[in-house]
Chain A
Amino acid sequence: MDTARYAELFLTESQDNLSAINHALLELERTPNAREPIGALFRAVHTVKGMSATMGYTVVAELSHELETLMDLVRRGEREVTTSLMDTLFQAADALERAIELSVAGREEDCDIAETLAALRGPVATQPAASAATGEPPRGKKKRASKRAAGASATPPSPTVTVAVTLEADAPMKGVRAYLVVERARTIGAVVSTVPALELLDADGFDGTISIGLATDAGDDEIERVVRLAGYVGEVRLTRASIVSNGANAPAANGNGGDPVRSAGQASELAPARAHRHIRIDLHRLDTLMNLIGELVITRGRLQQLSTTINEPALTETVTQASRLVADLQDTIMTSRMVPVWQVFDRFPRVVRDAARALEKQVDFVVDGQEIELDRSLLDEIGDPIVHLLRNAIDHGLETPEERLNAGKSPNGRLSLTAARDRSAVVIRVTDDGRGIDRDRVLSRAVEMGLIETGKHELSDDEVVRLIARPGFSTARQVTDLSGRGVGIDAVHTRVRALGGTVDIRSAKGKGTSITVRLPVTLAIVRALLARVGDETYAIPMTHVNETAQLEQGTIRQVKGRDVLVLRSDVLPVMHLRDVVGLPRRDVEGGQVVVLEVADRRAGMVVDELTGQQEIVIKPFDAVRDGLSLFSGATILGDGVPALILDVSSLL
C-alpha cells in the first residue's frame, strides 16, 4: 500500500476527528458528569489512533494511545473530571493536532510530545492501585489489545488485514451480529475501517457481509478463530496488504476477479463506506474549473456582442442557447464550491474558551446559522478575521465578571456568532453584551491622528464608529489599552473589503457591540454595471448599486458650497467619477448618476454614460496594497477590453 496516497485523506479525516475531540472536550468541561462526551472523545481518539498506526505515524499513534488510556480511566469512573484533567486533555488535543500536521508534512521528528505524554501518563501512573483493587485488569482482553496496538506504534506498525465476514443466512439481526464481529476483532487489533460503516449497520439493507480493515499482529488462524466467536459466522476471508512492502497490489491468495472484498480492502482502506455518494475533489481542480468558467463567461460576452452586430437570427438563437447553458454550468460549479460555514465555525467554541480563560472572562458563546453556505475560498479567507472579531469582543468588549456584576449585568458575558443569508450576500455577525465602544477615547485618538479637528465632537455615534473602521486607524492598543496584540478592526476591515464585502459596526456604551460582516456568496464572478468616462470603462458591482438616474437640470444642487444630489425627497452627497479617476470634468450637460449603497450609507456618482450590465470575472491585482485603494480588481469585458472594478466601500 502506498501510504503517501492516503496522507491527504488521513489529514482530512483526522481534522474531522480533532474537531470532534475539541467539541467533546468543551462539552465535558460544561457537564463533567455526562457520559456522551466521554464516549465521543473515546471514539474519535480511537479512530485517530487506528489511522495513524496504519500510516506508520508513530508519534501520533503513541499520543492518541495515551490519551485513549486516560479517557478509559475517566470512562470507568476511576479518574474524576477536574480542571487540571481538562487542561491536560486540551493540551493533549493541541499536541495531537500539531503532531498530525507535522507527520503529514513528513516532519515527524519535529514533534515534541514528551511533556504532553508525561502529563497524560502522570495522572494514570498515580493510580495503579485503583485497577489493582478490582482484582483483574478491567475489560481483560480489550485492555491488552490496546496495549498491543500501542506496542505497534513504537515498533513498525501492525500489518493491515482485510477480514471479510459473511454471516449465516438465517442469522437474526445481521447488522447487530456484524457489530459483534467487529467487537471481537477489536480484541486482537485496531479496527481501521469497516465496509459498510459501523453507523450504517443497524439500518436495514445490510446484506450480511462486512469487511473489516484490521491492523493486527495476529496470524490468519487466530483472526478467523476470534471473529467466529461472534456467532452465526458463515464464511471468513482474509486479504493481506502489507504497508511495508511496496507491492502495488499484494494480490490475495484467494482474490478472484471482481471480488468485492478486494476492492473494499484496496480502495477504501481509510474511506468510509459512503464514499460512493461523495467524492473528494482537490480544491485546485475546482479553482481551475472556476477560472475556466470565468473565461467562458467572458467569451460568451464577446460572442453576444458579435451576434448582435452580425444580426443573423439563426446565430442569435444559437448564442442565446449557449449562453443559457453557460449560465447553468456556472451555477452548478458555484454550487459545488459551496460549503456550510460550520466547517470553519466549528473551531470557534474552542477559540472562545481559550481566550476567555486566558483573559479571565466568563463567556456564554452561542453560534447560529451553521448551515449557511459560502464559497469555499471565501470561507477559508474569513476564518481569521472572525477569530479576530471574537477575540476582540472577549478582550475589549466583555467586562470581567466583577465589572459586570457592578454594572448590574449577569457575570457571564454573552457572545454570539450568527450567519444568515440576505439576498445574494451572507451576513456574519459577532455580537457581545459588553461595555461598548468608548466614544471619548476614539475621538481623542482620532484628533491625535489628525482624522478630525479638535472641538469637532458633535459627530454622531455612527460616525464615531466609522472612524474605527477607517483603514489605518489602529484601535486595539490605543483605544482600550488592553491588548498588545494590535489586531484592530481595520485589519478585519481591509481583509473583508478585499473579498468584496463590507463591515458595519454598531455599539452602545454599556450595552455592547455588534459587528456585521457582509460577504458576497461567491467570489470571482459578479454582476456589474459598466460606466464610461471619457474613453475608459469602469465596472461597479451590482451589489452596491441602489439605483440609476438621468442627470437633469436641478438634479445636482449646491448646498453650503458642496454638490448634493436631490433625488425625490432624498438629498445625497455626490461625487464625479471623473474626479475620482483623475480626468478633467466635462462642460457638457447630461450624463447619468448611479446611487451607490454600502450598508446604510448612500452617495451619488456622476458618470458620462452607463453602457450596460454584464457578468464580470474578477481578476484580483496587487496594486491595491499600498496606493489608492479605489479598485478592488480588474476584469476583461466582452469586447476584450480590460476594465477596473471600483471598490465602492472605499469611496463611501
Chain B
Amino acid sequence: MSHTVLICDDAIFMRTMVGDILQQAGFEIVGEAETGVQAVEKYRQLRPDLVTMDIVMPDMGGIDAVREITKFDPLAKVLMCSAMGQQALVVEAIQAGAKDFVVKPFQPSRVLEAVQRVLG
C-alpha cells in the first residue's frame, strides 16, 4: 500500500508542485491545507504517514502546527519546506518535532531523499 501524504502550503503553486513530485513517486496525496490550523485539523482527521509543511503560513505558522501535531501524535513524520535564509526557523521546527527539511527551490530527487529519510 502506498504512503499517504498531507501537503501544507499557502501557495497553490507549491502544493501542486510538491504534490506532483510525490504522486509520480507513488505516494497518495490524501489532503491539502492552506493554514496551520487546517494542517492540524486535517492531520487529526486523516492520520497521514507523512506531512510536508511550509514554515510561513497564515493563521498559525508551520512551526506551531508541527508543535500541535507532535503533541497529538509524538510519532508524526513532518518534513519542513523552507526557503533560503530561514535557518533559525528550521531549527525551531526541528525542536518542535519536525524530522527533516528541504530547501526551495525543490529538486525532485532531493525531496524524495528527504521523504525516504523521514519515513525511515
Contacts and interface: CB of A to CB of B under 8 A. Distances in A.
Interface stretch (A136-144, A591-599, A600-608): A136-144
Interface string A137-168: 01110000000000000000000000000000
Given A139-B74, A183-B94, A229 B87 contact: no
Nearest to B80: A176
A226 B101 CA distance: 17
B71 A77 contact: yes
Contacts of B82: 173
Among B91, B95, B120, residue most surrounded by chain A Cβ atoms (within 10 Å): B91
A134 interface: yes
Contact of B94 (A139, A140, A176, A231): A176
Given A138-B74, A172-B103, A173-B101, A231 B91 contact: no
Scoring A39, A202, A230 by chain B CB atoms within 10 A of each residue's CB, the highest score goes to: A202
A176 B117 contact: no
Interface in A179-205: 179-180, 183, 201-203
B20 interface: no
B100 interface: yes
B71 A176 contact: no
Given A173-B103, A176-B94, A179-B91, A231 B117 contact: yes
Given A136-B75, A139-B74, A176 B120 contact: no
A410 B100 CA distance: 51
Interface residues of B, number: 18
A281 B2 CA distance: 61
B1 interface: no
Given A179-B94, A201-B91, A229 B75 contact: no
A76 interface: yes
B113 A202 contact: no
A265 interface: no
A417 to B, nearest CB: 34
A175 interface: yes
Nearest to B90: A176
A136 B95 CA distance: 21
Nearest to B110: A172
A231 B87 contact: no
A77 B71 CA distance: 8
A76 B117 contact: no
B88 A202 contact: yes
Given A136-B75, A138-B74, A139-B74, A202 B117 contact: no
Contacts of B74: 76, 134, 138-139
Interface residues of A, number: 21
Contacts of A139: 74-75
Contacts of B120: 229
B114 interface: yes
Contacts of A175: 87, 91
Interface in A577-597: none
Contacts of B114: 231
Interface in B3-26: none
A173 B90 contact: yes
A222 to B, nearest CB: 15
B87 to A, nearest CB: 4
Contacts of A138: 74
A179 B89 CA distance: 12
Interface string B31-72: 000000000000000000000000000000000000000010
A176 B75 contact: no
Contacts of B75: 136, 139-140
Contacts of A134: 74
B79 to A, nearest CB: 11
Nearest to B97: A139
Nearest to A75: B71
A202 B89 CA distance: 9
Contacts of B84: 172-173
Contacts of A39: 95
Contacts of A180: 94, 100-101
A183 B96 CA distance: 12
A202 B87 contact: yes
Nearest to A182: B94
Interface in A46-87: 76-77
Interface string A481-516: 000000000000000000000000000000000000
A243 B71 CA distance: 38
A39 B100 CA distance: 20
A629 to B, nearest CB: 58
A183 B101 CA distance: 13
A179 B84 CA distance: 16
Contacts of B100: 180, 231
A575 to B, nearest CB: 66
A176 B87 contact: yes
B71 A76 contact: yes
Contacts of B71: 76-77
Interface in B72-120: 74-75, 82, 84, 87-88, 90-91, 94-95, 100-101, 103, 113-114, 117, 120
A202 B91 contact: yes
Most chain B CB neighbours (cut-off 10 Å) among A138, A140, A172? A172
Contacts of A140: 75
B117 A229 contact: yes
Given A134-B74, A138-B74, A139-B74, A176 B113 contact: no
Given A76-B71, A179-B94, A173 B87 contact: yes
A203 B91 CA distance: 11
A136 B103 CA distance: 32
Nearest to A178: B91
A172 B100 CA distance: 12
A230 B74 CA distance: 19
A60 B66 CA distance: 34
Interface in A436-463: none
A461 B56 CA distance: 63
Nearest to A142: B74
Contacts of B91: 175-176, 179, 201-202
A231 B113 contact: yes
A229 B74 CA distance: 19
Interface of B: 71, 74-75, 82, 84, 87-88, 90-91, 94-95, 100-101, 103, 113-114, 117, 120
- The 10 tightest CB contacts between A and B, nearest first, are A172-B103, A202-B87, A138-B74, A176-B90, A202-B88, A231-B117, A202-B91, A139-B74, A179-B91, A176-B87
Given A173-B90, A173-B101, 20 more contacts: A76-B71, A76-B74, A173-B82, A173-B84, A173-B87, A175-B87, A175-B91, A176-B91, A176-B101, A179-B94, A180-B101, A201-B91, A202-B87, A202-B88, A202-B91, A203-B87, A229-B120, A231-B113, A231-B114, A231-B117
22 contacts: A77-B71, A134-B74, A139-B74, A139-B75, A140-B75, A173-B90, A173-B103, A175-B87, A175-B91, A176-B90, A176-B91, A176-B94, A179-B91, A180-B100, A202-B87, A202-B91, A203-B87, A229-B117, A230-B117, A231-B100, A231-B114, A231-B117
